[in-house]
Structure 1
């Protein structure tokens, strides 16, 4: 694996998540350093090939797979203020994914180390030649980084590549309305011709970008319809997630099911707040469509 040159100032190192390397004032800024044994060594090696010192790290959000190797890069870490505690605390990272402290080895990706955040930013801030964009929904402070000079947006987990949708089933989000709003904003950037880079998937541009974002949006809207249909009979959240995974022919593992419970909870909260469903207790907490 090696760097893919995106412009005179920007490079992409592959992975899941991929990592953006941005040249700024003769130094290097790393966006979403990622995880994996030896990944920090890979990024240091690539920076040496470019002849540049790593000046800073930016992360789109605080999930474990995006921040794990940040402590080994010896450069200050910047994150949106809504993501501060999620990034720093191993327990907070597990809670945001699982809803409580998770069993060891149960989540798709866990690591027990604390992460040191050196500074927080707000959406709209300019950071080393990149503008922080509000792409919340996947997580509270999900941030995209807009590189006007290079004509690209590193969008983090605001949308997903086709392989993720095929193998997991549900896009991961904690706020249904926020996630859909962010997809709408990304569609406008696609229409303007910017290269859009998901953390988990290939960079896409123009019609391919619009098609992939629409695939994410259509999957979310389809999930909304399916949940309403399923709740003609009372169901618990586990049952809903299980049935959705069966409908999408996704391999059902404890780890994938745990991930999919999160967006299902987000859909349930949205529907309940809009008065579309109600709660009932029938050998457990269950949800059903409001009749009439």
Structure 2
């Protein structure tokens, strides 16, 4: 499986396009610039089969409807943030005053619990990793040795916890119990900034020391 990291939207949120050899792909967190993303997918002759969200902050969902409608694919989100898609207050777009109130149509698929999921040829483990937001999810692709961590864990940092439903202690618990238990060589694909590895963050992330 290959992946492309594509920074999109006003905060340059990392959108990930995961692709199998046959060209089918999963889209994770299309934060904005829908036309740019759609063009890249078409230019590479990819076939999207689903759109999954790590969480529903405005900078991760800005192009959801545009991409969903273009490719006629289902959208997945955790039940705790399903309502956030429709509400600019909950998803933060009203507070940040980025010039646009983000309202996204309801998700097609609701994730309720941690589970092994398979969408087409893509097999992955869903981890609940709340703290940055109540319904934050991480997606672990064991065979490929990678985890898409949303805004839970970054290269040298962790997600902010001062937004609606954020909880610092809960985030640290999520990181230590769900992410740092993965093999140290696991590649971490974060919601912002460059990729990292579990081992690198265990050794050098200053926010995780002394937990």
Question: What TM-score, normalized by structure 1, do the two folds share?
Answer: 0.59
Q: Provide the rounded CA distance (Å) in 2 between the counterparts of 1:149 and 1:43.
A: 26
RMSD: 2.6
- Alignment partner of 1:179 is 2:194: no
- Alignment partner of 1:159 is 2:153: yes
Between structures 1 and 2, the one with greater strand share: 2
- Alignment partner of 1:205 is 2:197: yes
Aligned mate of 1:14, from 7, 10, 17: 7
SS at match of 2:13: coil
SS at match of 2:82: helix
- Tell me how far 1:119 sits from its aligned partner: 1.4
The C-alpha deviation readout for 1:205-241, integer Å capped at 9, x for no partner, is 25423245x32324x96xxxxxxxxxxxxxxxxxxxx
Within-5 A mapping of 1:89-168:
89-94=87-92, 107=96, 109=98, 111-116=100-105, 117-122=107-112, 123-128=114-119, 129=122, 130-162=124-156
Contact 2:202 2:208 in 1 (8 A): no
Between structures 1 and 2, the one with greater helix share: 1
Which structure has the greater CA radius of gyration?
1
Within-5 A mapping of 1:1-292:
8-15=1-8, 16-23=12-19, 26-35=23-32, 39-73=33-67, 74=69, 75-94=73-92, 107=96, 109=98, 111-116=100-105, 117-122=107-112, 123-128=114-119, 129=122, 130-162=124-156, 171-172=160-161, 174-184=166-176, 185-189=178-182, 191=184, 193-205=185-197, 207-211=199-203, 214-218=205-209
The C-alpha deviation readout for 1:28-80, integer Å capped at 9, x for no partner, is 21001112xxx212211221233112222101001000001111112321101
Q: Provide the rounded CA distance (Å) in 2 between the counterparts of 1:10 and 1:156.
A: 15
Give unmatched runs, 5+ long, in structure 1: 1-7, 222-292
